[in-house]
Chain A
Amino acid sequence: MINKVVKNANEAVKDIADNSVLMLGGFGLCGIPENSIQALLESKVKNLTCISNNAGVDDFGIGLLLKTHQVRKMISSYVGENAEFERQLLSGELEVELIPQGTLAERVRAGGAGIPAFYTPAGFGTEVAEGKETREFDGKMYLLEKGLVADFALVKAWKGDTAGNLIFKGTARNFNPMMAAAGKITIAEVEELVPAGELAPNEIHTPGIYVQRIFEGKNYEKRIEQRTVRS
């Protein structure tokens, strides 16, 4: 089995150059590649295009890269709860393409699956439809949306093996599996890295064919945005 293990996040991201297009897994702060983001902060790479459902919060996740102005463009579905993201968007400092969440997920899935474009009803009649081809099927209107790929996909999984196979936990799965497939080079960070053969093949979510580099991350903060408990 091909060994895909790299030493750490810094080694994994060292060839991510200025102007790269990145995909980053996660929904809110859940399932984000914390170690790889930290390594990008340290590498000081700039003019990044980041495809990610959210952009973290002001002081965590991709929000850290916004603060240092390493991101030129965000492609996301949701800005809310990130004041710095909203400020840079409204001031025009940051180029932002907002995409419906399901369209974003499917564009990434399509990109990784070799499908150049597909029709979806989401966004018909809205700003999202501007400049896009529309077509009627069975009396309903649809937009043509294109698949997305990236130079690098940065994903986070719960467990992974040396062959790059991944298992996610809870709702931390979200965009990670599709992004793994849509990255020309996919860097997976995992909480627990095991030798190939230790993960049950029936339980693997992302096949290792999509993953080029894998490392065991450390010091996961897993910050919670809305800690809500039962009284």
Chain B
Amino acid sequence: MALDKIGIAKRIAQEVQDGMYINLGIGIPTLVANYIPDALDVVLQSENGLLGIGQFPTEDDVDADLINAGKQTITMRDGSVLFDSAESFAMIRGGHVDLTILGAMEVSENGDISNWKIPGKMVKGMGGAMDLVASAKNIIVAMQHTSRQGESKLLKECSLPITGLQCVRKIITNLAVLEVQDGGGFKLLERAPGVTVDEIKKATAGKLIVEGEIPEMKID
């Protein structure tokens, strides 16, 4: 069974380590926060000017002046700090954020990523994504392995306008966990429960590297 969005978020949460400062993008990455084990102490950065995103507010605590980068109402926690957008991106550009998790429309086998525009059809804008991918030490991409039409989104080369070059290390999809190799290629690390290596091969247009037995993901 391919994973749903929550499954992807749960698997990504396993990549989080104690003490990390983390930037979560919009969509599936935002869900990751719900599955980080309580035992880990991590600080979530919101690029609109907050370190230390707390949980969603109760109805009584909703504050229009306190939102995350996805424009959702949020709260702060002990140790939270507020700042302006230039300071926020100084943190990002300066390499102070340990882990960046973001979505993608396409990823290429050498780690290029596209996620901001479909020419003539749709323009979301890059927001903070280009800054994040250009400077992050560790980038994990959360995405569907294929489009709704069944076409692979893990390609030899991206067909859509690029967000950043050779920056993605790890990709977690509804079908697999993959690592981008230095010389190019997606190394298959794990399969979603019940998904076969053949199914992943069929869904991957770029070079897929399969070595030995590929374990299933362990997801609660």
Residues in B whose Cβ lies below 8 Å from that of A121: 93, 134-135
Contact A178/B86 with A101-B47, A122-B135 known, Cβ cut-off 8 Å: yes
Interface range on chain A (Cβ under 8 Å from partner): 35 or more
Residues in B whose Cβ lies below 8 Å from that of A102: 47, 85, 88-89, 92-93, 128, 130-131
Instruction: Indicate if A138 sits at the interface (CB-CB under 8 A).
Output: no
Rounded to whole Å, the gap between the CB of B208 and the closest CB of chain A is 24
10 contacting pairs across A/B (C-beta < 8 A)? A30-B64, A30-B65, A78-B125, A98-B116, A102-B85, A105-B85, A120-B134, A127-B162, A171-B66, A224-B71
Pair A229/B67 contact, Cβ less than 8 Å: no
Pair A174/B64 contact, Cβ less than 8 Å: no
Pair B126/A77 contact, Cβ less than 8 Å: yes
Q: Mark B61-100, 1 if CB is under 8 A from A, else 0.
A: 0111111111111100000001111101110110000000
Pair A27/B85 contact, Cβ less than 8 Å: yes
Residues in B whose Cβ lies below 8 Å from that of A100: 126-131
Tell me which residues from 26 to 70 in chain B have a Cβ below 8 Å from any Cβ of chain A.
46-50, 55-59, 62-70
How many cross-chain pairs have Cβ atoms below 8 Å apart between A and B?
178
10 further A-B contacts with Cβ under 8 Å, apart from A28-B71, A226-B73, are A27-B69, A80-B127, A98-B123, A106-B90, A125-B162, A125-B165, A126-B164, A170-B50, A171-B46, A222-B65
Tell me which residues from 144 to 181 in chain B have a Cβ below 8 Å from any Cβ of chain A.
161-165
Cross-interface CB contact of B134 among A80, A122, A127, A224, cutoff 8 Å: A122
Interface residues, chain B, with chain A CB atoms under 8 Å away: 46-50, 55-59, 62-74, 82-86, 88-90, 92-93, 112, 116, 120-131, 134-135, 161-165
Pair B85/A101 contact, Cβ less than 8 Å: yes
Residues in B whose Cβ lies below 8 Å from that of A213: none
Q: Which of B47, B120, B123, B129 has most A Cβ within 10 Å?
A: B123
Q: Within the assembled complex, what's the spacing in Å between the Cα atoms of A102 and B162?
A: 17
Pair A229/B58 contact, Cβ less than 8 Å: yes
Pair A125/B126 contact, Cβ less than 8 Å: no
Pair B84/A101 contact, Cβ less than 8 Å: no
Contact A108/B86 with A171-B65, A229-B56 known, Cβ cut-off 8 Å: yes
Pair B73/A228 contact, Cβ less than 8 Å: yes
Q: Within the assembled complex, what's the spacing in Å between the Cα atoms of A178 and B133?
A: 24
Q: Within the assembled complex, what's the spacing in Å between the Cα atoms of A79 and B59?
A: 28
Residues in B whose Cβ lies below 8 Å from that of A90: 120-121, 123
Tell me which residues from 66 to 109 in chain A have a Cβ below 8 Å from any Cβ of chain B.
76-81, 86, 89-90, 98, 100-106, 108-109
Instruction: Indicate if A169 sits at the interface (CB-CB under 8 A).
Output: yes
Pair A173/B165 contact, Cβ less than 8 Å: no
Nearest to A177 among chain B residues (CB) is B84
Pair A171/B48 contact, Cβ less than 8 Å: yes
Q: Within the assembled complex, what's the spacing in Å between the Cα atoms of A193 and B47?
A: 29
